[in-house]
Structure 1
C-alpha cells in the first residue's frame, strides 16, 4: 500500500510539474527593458507642443523609450549639457549646431528630427495698428529685440531688412535685456515695439498691454527653427534608439496635424499648469494656423539654406555649412515612410 501511495504521489507530482511548465509557457513573454533617453529642451514653450504630445499620448513609451525631459534654459547651456554628456538629445535651434562646427568640434552635433519650421516670435506694438500695418512705421521707434546671436534676433533682423529697415540705423534697438525679462521690460514701459514669444504675446493682448501686428515666423519663411539633435558619436552607438525616438516624434506630428486645437491643448496642458487653458488654445491655434509645427522631421536643403541666409544677414555665419555635414535625415525619412 505504501508502494502504491508513493507511485501515485510521484504521478501527481509529475503532472503538476508538467502543468506548471505549460502554464509558464503560456504566460506573458518577458518584455524588453525600455531605453532611457535624456532630452534637454532649450525652454518650456507651447511652441514645442508635438514634443509634449509624444510624452502624454504615450508615443515614446510605445516605442520602448523612457524619456527624461529637462528644461536647460538657453542655447548655450543646452549645447554645453549635450557636449559634456549631461543629456543625450537636445531640442534647440539648428544654428547652435553650426556654432559648434565653426569652433572645430571633433564630434559634430547632428540635426536628425525637426520639430518646428518657422520662427516663433511676433511683433507686438504698444498701440493697435491703424489699418494695414506698414513696416516703415517702425523707423525711428524704440524696438525691444531679442538676444544677439540667437535665432529669434536673427529672424527678426532678417525680416526688418527684407522690409528695407536697417535695425542698427533706423531703430533705437535694445538688445541687452535678458530673454526672461523682455516681457516685463515692455510691460513697464520700455520700447514702442517688442519681439515676443508666446504665450506672452497673447497674454499682453488679453490684458490690453500690447497688440500682435505681425509674425516673424511668416515673414522669415521656413527654416529648421527647433530641431532634435545629438552628437555623431551617440548616433553611431544608438541608431535603433534614435529611430524609435524619431518614430515617436512622427506619431506626435501626425496626431497634432489631425487633431483640433482643443484636443491638442488638453493633451499638453499638464506641462503648463500655471497657464490658463484658453491661452494655451489661442497659442496652439496661432502656431498651427501659420504652419509652425513641422509635419515631419526632415530638414530639407532649402530650409537649411534659408537658415544660413538668416544667419548671414545677421553677421553670425563665418562660412556656409554643407547640408549633409550637419543633417542626418535617415531616421526622419524612415519614420515618415513607415509611421501612419
Structure 2
C-alpha cells in the first residue's frame, strides 16, 4: 500500500513538472554580434566598457569585439557580413558615401581627434624652450600609414604652420605606435604623430618625448574638435532588417559613454583600459582616460561632414562636393543619443 502511494505521488510530481516545463516559455537567448574596431586603440573604449560592465548583456546582446589593422579591411568585413557593426573613423564613412556604398553611421563614439605630435626629448632640449610645429621643418616624422588618418592630420597641421609636408619634412609610415617610439629611440625618426594613449605613455610614462601639439586637450586647428573622429557604422541592409538590435547597441554604448564621463568612475575605467590595451603604464593610462573622458559622446551634426571634407580634400583623398548628411548619418537615432544628457 505504501509502495503504491509512493509511486502515485512521484507520478503526480512528474506530471506537474512536465506541465510547468510545457507552460514556461523558452529562455530567450542573447543576440550574438561581432563588432569591429578599425585598430586596437583607446578610441574604442566605450565598446570595451559596454562589454565589461555588462551594458551589452543588459540589452540581451552577446558581443565579440574584433580588432583590425585599419579602416579598409574592417570596412570589407562589414560589407562582407562577418561584422554587424564597425567602430571606425567618420572619414571612412564619408569616403564610402561618395562611392555609393551602403554604409551608414548611427552614433558618434568619440568627437575629438585624440592624437598628438611628439618630439624626441634630446631634440627638444636643444631648443631651450617648448617646441612648436614650426620646429618640425626638416625633420623625419613618423605616422601610421600613407593616406591614413594620422598621415592626413599631420599634413594638415604642417600646412597650417607653413610647412610643405612634401618638401620641408619627411613623413615616415610606421605601422604601430609602439614601433614609432622604438624608431625614435633608434634615431630613425625625430618626431611622431601618435594616437592615445601613446602620447602619455611616451611623454609622462617613458619621459623620452615632449609634446609639440596635443589635439586631445584642444590644441591645434579647431577642425580636430567636435569632428566626429570615430563613429559606429553598419550597413543599410542590416539596419533595415535589424533596427531593434541596432537600437540596443546604441543604448548600451551611450550608457558606457556616460559611465566614462563620470569622474567618480575614472579608476574603474582606467583598470578596464589597462586590461584591454596593456598594463605596462598605469599612470599614463589614467592620464589618457581622464583627458579623453568627456570626448566620448554620441552626438552627430552636419558640421562634422564639412570638417572631414576640409581634412581630406586638400590631400587629394576625396573630391567636392561633400555627401549629404543624410547619406552618411541616420539621424533617426538621435532620441537615443539624448540619453547621454548635455555635453559638459
Pair in the same fold by TM > 0.5: yes
Q: Is the contact between residue 39 and residue 67 of structure 1 (CA under 8 Å) also seen in structure 2?
A: yes
Correspondence for 1:316: 317
- Whether 1:233 and 2:231 are equivalent positions in the alignment is no
Is residue 46 of structure 2 the alignment partner of residue 50 of structure 1? Answer: yes
Hey, which bits of structure 1, 4+ residues long, moved more than 6 A?
A: 8-15, 21-27
Give the drift of 1:89: 0.9
Q: 1:254 & 1:198 partners in 2: Cα distance?
A: 20
Question: Structure 1: which 5+ runs fail to align?
Answer: none
What are structure 2's unaligned runs of at least 5 residues?
none
Match of 1:267 among 248, 254, 272: 272
TM-score by length of 2: 0.83
Partner of residue 162, structure 1:
160
TM-score, normalisation: structure 1: 0.84
Q: Is the 8 A contact 1:46 1:280 kept in 2?
A: no
CA distance in 2, matches of 1:339, 1:193: 37
- In the alignment, the residues of structure 2 paired with residue 86 and residue 18 of structure 1 have an alpha-carbon distance, to the nearest angstrom, of 45
Matched-pair contact (CA < 8 Å) for 2:94–2:305: no
Q: Do the aligned residues in 2 keep the contact of 1:247 with 1:339 (CA within 8 Å)?
A: no
RMSD over equivalenced CA pairs, Å: 3.0
In 2: Cα distance, 1:91 partner to 1:236 partner? 19
Give 1:239 deviation, angstroms: 0.2
Tell me, yes or no, if structure 1 residue 177 matches structure 2 residue 174. yes
Q: CA deviation at 1:133?
A: 4.1
| Distance in structure 2 (CA, Å) of the matches to 1:294 and 1:200 | 18
Q: In the alignment, what sits opposite 2:288?
A: 283
Matched residue pairs, number? Answer: 327
Residue 114 of structure 2 is matched in structure 1 by 120
CA distance in 2, matches of 1:80, 1:24: 45
Q: Which residue of 2 aligns with 1:202?
A: 200
CA change 1:279–1:26 in 2 (3 A) is: farther
Cα pair distance change 1:317/1:44, threshold 3 Å? same
Counterpart Cα distance in 1 of 2:287 and 2:329: 33
SS at match of 1:38: strand
